[in-house]
Amino acid sequence: MAINNKIKLFAFIALSLSLGYIVLGCKSSNKNQTTSPISGIIDSFFPPKNKGIFPDELQIYVILNQKPDPQGVRFLVWRNGIQIPGKIIQEEIKEQGKYKVIFEPTEKEQGTYVVYFNYGVEAIFWTFWSEVTKTISFFPQFSYPPHGSKNFPTGSSISVSLRKAINPYTIDDETIRLIKLDISGEQDSIFDVSYLPNSLIWLPDRMEASSNYKVMITGIVPLIENSPSTIHYEIGFRTQDLEKPSIVSCNPRFCNLSSCDEVKGNFFDMWIEFQKNEELLPQSVLDNFKVYVDLPSGTEIVDFSKVYVYDVFSRSLKLISEKNLTPKRSIIIYPNKIEVRFEDLLQPPSTVRIYILPTLSDSSGNQINDFFSWCVQVVP
């Protein structure tokens, strides 16, 4: 089970069982219309749940059956998924023997509102909208870290904000996941999760450095729709690399020899492999990995006609650059490997010279800090 213990929702979510799916109603221009009495201390509230009002008529208040202690009142309001400032005012309704607690927003603007009120042992949680048209406002959508981010601290939390308010009772270890990606496949990670009206916050139990992770949302149900459809969302990111790139092996064996390696007949490809959990920065490879070919006619500086980069999240190669060059040479940049292919085969006699500059770096900015040079001789 990926989620540790249980989903940690904020206190007001535990009190929202009555929210259900929101059915859009008509706008109300009657400021005196309130929700019918509840029970106990809380008598009623305004604006009505699941209704719309015009911005210039925006009032948010709760009527209580007894005088509240101002220090015990908790009144929180979100507009479009973002908590908004305002002041709390308390008024006595003398003719009814009741008390009104008002939340007055600093600015009365259009948007979808989520309200939480708590006093004593009672609380309410409801949604309404305020706008001049019948179009329902969407929340902003973003994630931290953004998709494709590198160098993410292992001790940080992960957050995703969606365009719609979501039903908290559709959040479980099947609809939200944190997955570690490695060579062997995918592995679910343990985490806790917190919930805001349109946001989820992952609190990982532990994330490993120099690793790729994926956050998946599948099957969560939004609230503000007549016919709710499930939400699907995915981001991928990489945690901070702590070690500089280190060369492990190569093919042919040029990086393990004190002299040139020899290849007989012709030469098609070569590769250099780094440590397993490394992720090279593609642009740094293109800037700091140099290949020369010595031919009887002279020396050729290799310019690659095709550049491929391996995407760890889609598990596929992507062509990022293509030139109409002759002879044809390609470079493939994997997270921990550089491969060069000579599509137009190198024939003897020829020599390939390979250089790696000290500024070659990974996606976290760690540099190799050494100069390497090798060669491969193509012989009859």
Any idea which of 73-87, 204-218, 362-376 has the lowest mean pLDDT? 73-87
φ and ψ of 184, to 5 deg: -80, -10
3-state secondary structure of 169: helix
What is the pLDDT at residue 3? 59
Sign of CA dihedral 129, 130, 134, 136: negative
Q: How far apart are the first and last CA of the chain?
A: 60
Q: Do 116 and 12 form a contact (C-beta atoms < 8 A)?
A: yes
Measured distance CA(309)–CA(316) in Å, rounded: 8
Measured distance CA(118)–CA(30) in Å, rounded: 25
By C-alpha distance, which of 281, 279, 292, 275 is closest to 340? 292
Kindly give, in sequence order, each residue whose CB lies less than 8 Å from that of residue 55, ignoring residues fewer than 6 positions away.
108, 109, 110, 130, 131, 132
What is the pLDDT at residue 8? 43
Tokens matching residue 156: 């940080």
Whether the per-residue pLDDT at 373 is higher than 50: the answer is yes
- CA-CA distances (angstroms) from residue 81 to 86, 116, 197? 16, 13, 6
Place of tokens 């981010």: 149
Give the number of residues written for the chain: 380
What is the pLDDT at residue 273? 97
Kindly give, in sequence order, each residue whose CB lies less than 8 Å from that of residue 226, ignoring residues fewer than 6 positions away.
23, 24
Summarised one tens digit per residue, pLDDT across range 125-137 is 888 888 765 444 4
> What is the set of domains in the chain, with CATH numbers?
11-130 (2.60.40), 142-239 (2.60.40.1220), 247-379 (2.60.40.3710)
Summarised one tens digit per residue, pLDDT across range 93-120 is 988 899 999 999 988 888 888 899 999 8
Measured distance CA(30)–CA(251) in Å, rounded: 79
Query: 82 pLDDT band (50/70/90 cuts)?
Result: confident
Whether the per-residue pLDDT at 13 is higher than 50: the answer is no
Whether the per-residue pLDDT at 29 is higher than 80: the answer is no
Any idea what DSSP says for residue 380?
-
Measured distance CA(242)–CA(209) in Å, rounded: 7
Kindly give, in sequence order, each residue whose CB lies less than 8 Å from that of residue 258, ignoring residues fewer than 6 positions away.
none
Q: Do 157 and 8 form a contact (C-beta atoms < 8 A)?
A: no
Any idea what DSSP says for residue 34?
-
Measured distance CA(106)–CA(363) in Å, rounded: 44
Measured distance CA(228)–CA(97) in Å, rounded: 42
Q: Do 234 and 215 form a contact (C-beta atoms < 8 A)?
A: yes
What is the pLDDT at residue 193? 87
Q: Do 232 and 215 form a contact (C-beta atoms < 8 A)?
A: no
Helices and strands per DSSP (H, E), number in the chain: 1, 30
Whether the per-residue pLDDT at 362 is higher than 50: the answer is yes
pTM for the whole structure? 0.62
